[in-house]
Amino acid sequence: MITFIVVAILGALLAIVLMNLFKKEPKPLPAPVRPVEDLANLKVTDARTGDVLSIVGAGDRMTDLDFTADRGARMDAGARSWVELSGPYQERRVALRVGGNEEVEVFLHADPRKVSLEELGLSEDDLAQLDERQNPSDNFEFDNTTWMYRLSREVQAWRDNQPTPTGFYYWEFLTQDGKRLLGVRKAEGEPFTVTLYTAVNPGDVTVYRKN
């Protein structure tokens, strides 16, 4: 009886040893293949903080406007979102805004003017009423131009190197020809700020990435 038990144990041990000898090590999963970025042909939608951006004929006296984007943020306004990259140019800051749901929209803020809400002919109550109506037919006159209401809502701004977003309320207006855009921002405890943008052809923006 004892002999039978010993033989059974030895047989089980032998089976375990043979299983370990012939067991195949699992092959590691292949590393994911990431597409190689074509640095010579970056599109404006590829632009990010640290890139040098060159915009044809958008600078002072119709020169090219070149700047290094040293700040960046993604803006989320409900279903609409866009990216803003800014940097120094000619002793002032400029910003490039890239967004659009179906087609790429690119707008440049390079206007050195400081425009106030009063200069727009709008009051805080006017903005509140525009926000309540949410009517794309609403408009106002400024700078010999008609500005059409486009949207107003809370925006979450995800800025570089900040784990949590900052918020502000935002009103946006577009000229009838779509060539100029005007944004009004109001953060809690801060005054209204007005930003003027000019439409840019996406193909007129060259992106240079530093190694």
Cα 48 to Cα 83: distance, rounded to the nearest angstrom: 9
Residue 4: inside a domain, yes or no?
no
Kindly report, residue by residue over 14-48, the tens digit of the pLDDT.
556 456 555 555 555 555 555 566 777 899 999 99
Residue 27: inside a domain, yes or no?
no
pLDDT of residue 48: 96
Residue 192: inside a domain, yes or no?
yes
pLDDT of residue 7: 43
The answer to whether the beta carbons of residues 64 and 57 sit under 8 Å apart is: yes
Q: Which domain range does residue 201 map to?
A: 39-208
For the chain, how many structural domains are there in total?
Answer: 1
Of 85, 32, 27, the closest CA to residue 207 belongs to 85
Q: Which residues of the chain have pLDDT under 70?
A: 1-37, 211
Residue 100: inside a domain, yes or no?
yes
pLDDT of residue 107: 98
Residue 14: inside a domain, yes or no?
no
- State which amino acid sits at residue 200: V
pLDDT of residue 30: 57
pLDDT of residue 101: 74
Q: How many CB atoms lie within 10 A of CB 97?
A: 21
